[in-house]
Amino acid sequence: QKEVEQDPGPLSVPEGAIVSLNCTYSNSAFQYFMWYRQYSRKGPELLMYTYSSGNKEDGRFTAQVDKSSKYISLFIRDSQPSDSATYLCAMKGSYDKVIFGPGTSLSVIP
Amino acid sequence: GAVVSQHPSWVICKSGTSVKIECRSLDFQATTMFWYRQFPKQSLMLMATSNEGSKATYEQGVEKDKFLINHASLTLSTLTVTSAHPEDSSFYICSAISITGVTEAFFGQGTRLTVV
């Protein structure tokens, strides 16, 4: 079993839709959970960062962490064509290496 | 957010030569830096973890003699691809975690390496 699993998509939604991206993980030592957005041929850009369980909201983005289920989500409200990218979940324990999911390719259609 | 600068952003080299890629944390000190490799339409594959002042820890299957990592200071780590071959052509990305060790990881812009 991979440490972090994520549906690779591709996911295609109409502009304005709510997008739900999810990851599951197996290592209960993970405490820090991150979502990155990566455009083609660019380095990943940090979107959201959450410590332990709970919700965090930043503009149109909401990150949720459920440690009991080992499940994290990223919601994008009012999706825009500029949101089209690959979204990577990532997680780590304290002082540990960052482990990435395989990424979900998202296309928002105007 | 914190800034990580990676240089060069792209490089073309001849087969058999070596290429050095630099990763700098510009506004924070990073005890730990990570080097990733990414093939087209695939996720980031961790190659090695670089700790300041000590030897890098390589992931299984990564040749440490081919991918030399040096983390000489709290703001600089380098990856040298030695005797590069066309199959080494890839997108290489570094990331850094601040000295506190409990924050998110910040990424460089990536280096597109093409070996001809």
What are the tens digits of pLDDT across the range B25-48? 998 888 789 999 998 877 788 899
B2 in contact with A, Cβ within 8 Å: no
Lowest mean pLDDT among A20-29, B14-23, B43-52, B82-91: B43-52
pLDDT for the residue numbered A61: 96
pLDDT for the residue numbered B99: 66
What are the tens digits of pLDDT across the range A52-107? 888 999 999 999 999 999 999 999 999 999 999 999 999 887 666 788 888 999 99
Contacting residues of A for B101, CB less than 8 Å apart: 94-95
Taking the CA of residue B37 and the nearest CA in chain A, the distance in Å comes to 11
Contacting residues of B for A103, CB less than 8 Å apart: 43
Question: Does the pLDDT of residue A21 top 90, yes or no?
Answer: yes
Binary contact (B44, A100; C-beta < 8 A): yes
B102 in contact with A, Cβ within 8 Å: yes
Structure tokens at B13: 């080299």
Structure tokens at B109: 């812009």
Question: Does the pLDDT of residue B111 top 70, yes or no?
Answer: yes
B106 in contact with A, Cβ within 8 Å: yes
Taking the CA of residue A43 and the nearest CA in chain B, the distance in Å comes to 4
pLDDT for the residue numbered B86: 95
Question: Rounded mean pLDDT of B7-14?
Answer: 95
pLDDT for the residue numbered B47: 93
What are the tens digits of pLDDT across the range A45-61? 889 888 888 899 999 99
* CA angle A108–B3–B6, rounded 5-degree value: 90
User: What is the total residue count of chain B?
Assistant: 116
Residue A58: which of A92, A34, A81 has the closest Cα? A34
Q: How far apart are the C-alpha atoms of A92 and B97, rounded to whole Å?
A: 11
pLDDT for the residue numbered B76: 93
pLDDT for the residue numbered A29: 87
Place of tokens 């928002």: A108
Q: How far apart are the C-alpha atoms of A107 and B24, rounded to whole Å?
A: 32
pLDDT for the residue numbered B101: 53
CB atoms < 10 A from the CB of B105, how many?
26
Contacting residues of A for B54, CB less than 8 Å apart: none
Question: Does the pLDDT of residue A18 top 90, yes or no?
Answer: yes
What are the tens digits of pLDDT across the range B54-86? 889 999 999 999 999 998 888 999 999 999 999
Taking the CA of residue A16 and the nearest CA in chain B, the distance in Å comes to 26
